[in-house]
Structure formats: C-alpha cells, structure tokens
Amino acid sequence: MAKDVIIACDFSSAADTLSFLDQFHGRKPFVKIGMELYYAEGPSIVREIKRRGHKIFLDLKLHDIPNTVKKAMRVLSQLDVDMTNVHAAGTSEMMRAAIEGLTRPDGTRPLLIAVTQLTSTSQERMQQELLIGASIQDTIVHYAVNAQQSGLDGVVCSPLESSLVKQHCGAQFLTVTPGIRFADAAKDDQVRITTPARAREIGSDYIVVGRPITQAADPVAAYERCIREFLG
C-alpha cells in the first residue's frame, strides 16, 4: 500500500498556492485542496495542479441527500482527483450513492474516504448537543465500519484513533490522519497531535500536514523531513 505525506494547501488563492508549489521544483508532493481554495478558485485550480503532475486529495466533505451527493460526485469524478471524501454521518445510503457517482464509465474511481467525527467535536458536545449517547470512540469505530460496509476505502481520523480503526476494519482499510507536528514545533490550534514518526508506528497510511510545511522558513526541507520521519 502506498504511504505518503499529503500537504494541506490551505491558501486562499491560486497565485499563493502555485508559488508555494513552485518551490518544490522537480518534486511533486501529494496535495490536499480544501473548501477555502476550491470555493475561491473552482475546478480550474484542481486542473492546474493536476496538469503539473501532483496527486490531489479534494477535501470537500460532502454531506447531503444521496441523490445530490451522487450527482456532485459524478462531476468531481471528471476532475481526475486521486482522493475525495464525504461525511459518514450522511448514512450508508449516501456513501453508497457517493461511490456510484464517483465511479467512471470505465470502472475506475478516486479513493473515497469518510470523515467520522470531526476532531473539533468533543464527546461532551456530541452527547449534549447532537444527542449521540455513545462514546466518541465507539461512534468513530461505528462510522468507520459503516463506511467500510458501504464500499469506501478508509477514513479521516486523528492519528490516535488510527490503530482502533485498523483493529475493527483491518489493515487494508486506509487511515488518513491530520494533526501532525514535529516534536520540536508549535501545536497551533491542534490538540490531539502526533509526530510523523509516531504516525508511522501507529499505522497511518497518509498523513496530512499543513502549517508545519506551509509556514516553515524552508517548506521543502520541512516536507523532506516529514517524508524521512514518516516513510523511514
């Protein structure tokens, strides 16, 4: 299975994103495009980064009625991204519809990953505000199993939940984990964090790294360090 470091390109314009990527010269890191950049620039930024030879994780976290998600996924499948995602809270029916929409006429499709519970949601808030009575860990495992049974390839989760998900869904079920920080660096607003080396030990397949690379004095060196620590 291909393990990799995905750079979260949380920029608000194509110009900032492309000048950031220009620094990498011959290297073609796997790139995550999120809502901010996609809503600012639309599909053209996806096409341009793809044209430059990068793999893309399009992180739009779809969550709507199954038919709407299916039709939206049909559009995204034509963008030739490598990975995209939905909220598992949209139900198994919605996740199956997403797979259907994403599958191209030739049978190929990008990897489809489910968001379980966002790491910004605390157990207390989940129970009191959303009236979900289970523990946050049980909810995450249950959502991951639903995603797997719906045919998805994996989940986005905190690195600390990665081994729990693997225990229930098997080693082949992908875990994509943000919340990565170098041992000697600032946490920013992330709470449950781990280092690239620890993420490897825990079994993450892909780590998503934003500010430790994008805000570094030398982003290429920070990326290389991530690769060295994560891939060993």
What are the contacts of 33-36 at 24+ separation with CB within 8 A?
Answer: 33/9, 33/57, 33/58, 33/59, 34/8, 34/9, 34/10, 34/59, 34/60, 35/59, 35/60, 35/61, 36/10, 36/11, 36/12
d(CA 31, CA 208): 9
Regarding 37 and contact with ligand C5P (CB under 6 A), the answer is no
Regarding 208 and contact with ligand C5P (CB under 6 A), the answer is yes
Among 29, 154, 159, 210, binds ligand C5P (CB under 6 A): 210
Residue 177 near residue 162 (C-beta atoms within 8 A): yes
Taking CB under 6 A as the binding criterion, the range among 21-29, 92-100, 132-140, 207-215 that sits at the site for ligand C5P is 207-215
Strand, helix or coil for residue 35:
helix
Backbone angles phi, psi at 168, to 5 degrees: -90, -30
Regarding 29 and contact with ligand C5P (CB under 6 A), the answer is no
Regarding 190 and contact with ligand C5P (CB under 6 A), the answer is yes
* C-alpha gyration radius of the chain: 17
Regarding 90 and contact with ligand C5P (CB under 6 A), the answer is no
Size of site (CB under 6 A) for ligand C5P = 15
Q: Which is nearer to ligand C5P, 45 or 156 (CB)?
A: 156
Among 101, 110, 154, 178, binds ligand C5P (CB under 6 A): 178
Q: Which is nearer to ligand C5P, 114 or 156 (CB)?
A: 156
Residue 137 near residue 162 (C-beta atoms within 8 A): no
Q: Which is nearer to ligand C5P, 70 or 139 (CB)?
A: 139
d(CA 207, CA 213): 12
Regarding 186 and contact with ligand C5P (CB under 6 A), the answer is no
Regarding 5 and contact with ligand C5P (CB under 6 A), the answer is no
Residue nearest to ligand C5P (CB): 210
Taking CB under 6 A as the binding criterion, the range among 15-23, 79-87, 91-99, 204-212 that sits at the site for ligand C5P is 204-212
For residue 78, give the H/E element and its range: none
Regarding 119 and contact with ligand C5P (CB under 6 A), the answer is yes
Q: Which two tokens stand for residue 170?
A: 């098997």
Taking CB under 6 A as the binding criterion, the range among 79-87, 131-139, 160-168, 209-217 that sits at the site for ligand C5P is 209-217
For the annotated catalytic residues, the residue numbers are 61
d(CA 28, CA 157): 25
Question: Which residue carries 């030879």 as its tokens?
Answer: 53
Footprint of ligand C5P on 144-173 (CB under 6 A): 156
- Residues contributing to the site for ligand C5P (CB under 6 A): 8, 10, 34, 118-119, 156, 178-179, 188, 190, 208-212
